[in-house]
Amino acid sequence: MTDASKIIDSVRKQGRSVLTEIEAKQVISTIGVGTTRTLLARSQKEAAALSDEIGFPVVLKIASPDITHKTDAGGVKVGLKNKAEVRRACAEIVVAAREKFPGAKIDGVTVQNVARPGIEIIIGTFKDPQFGPVIMFGLGGIFVEVLKDVAFRIVPILKRDASEMIKEIKGYALLNGYRGHEPANIPVLEDILLKVSDFVDKTPAIKEIDLNPIFAYKDSAVAVDARIVLEEEK
135-150 residue pLDDT tens? 999 998 766 666 688 9
**Burial class of residue 95 in the structure, from the number of CB atoms within 10 Å of its CB (0-12 exposed, 13-18 middle, 19+ buried):** exposed
Q: Which residue has the higher pLDDT, 71 or 195?
A: 195
Q: Identify residue 133 by its one-letter amino acid code.
A: P
> CA 204: distance to chain centroid?
20
pLDDT at 72 over 90: no
d(CA 28, CA 216): 16
| 54 Cβ contact list (under 8 Å, min separation 6) | 37, 39, 111, 112, 113
* pLDDT at residue number 84: 97
pLDDT at 185 over 80: yes
Mean pLDDT for 190-207 is: 97
Percentage of residues in the chain with pLDDT exceeding 70? 97
Model confidence at 71, pLDDT cuts 50, 70, 90, reads confident
pLDDT at 216 over 80: yes
Contact 74, 92 (CB under 8 A): yes
Q: How many CB atoms lie within 10 A of CB 76?
A: 19
Kind of pairing between the strands at 226-230 and 206-216: antiparallel
CA-CA-CA-CA dihedral for 34, 36, 39, 45, to nearest 10? 160
Contact 214, 121 (CB under 8 A): yes
* pLDDT at residue number 146: 63
* pLDDT at residue number 74: 86
Percentage of residues in the chain with pLDDT exceeding 90? 83
Q: Measured at the alpha carbon of residue 190, what is the angle toward residues 185 and 193, in degrees to the nearest 5?
A: 130
Q: Identify residue 218 by its one-letter amino acid code.
A: K
Mean pLDDT for 114-125 is: 94
* pLDDT at residue number 69: 79
d(CA 3, CA 26): 9
Enumerate domains of the chain plus CATH numbers.
9-18+117-230 (3.30.470.20), 37-113 (3.30.1490.20)
Contact 183, 203 (CB under 8 A): no
End-to-end CA distance of the chain: 22
Residue count of the chain: 234
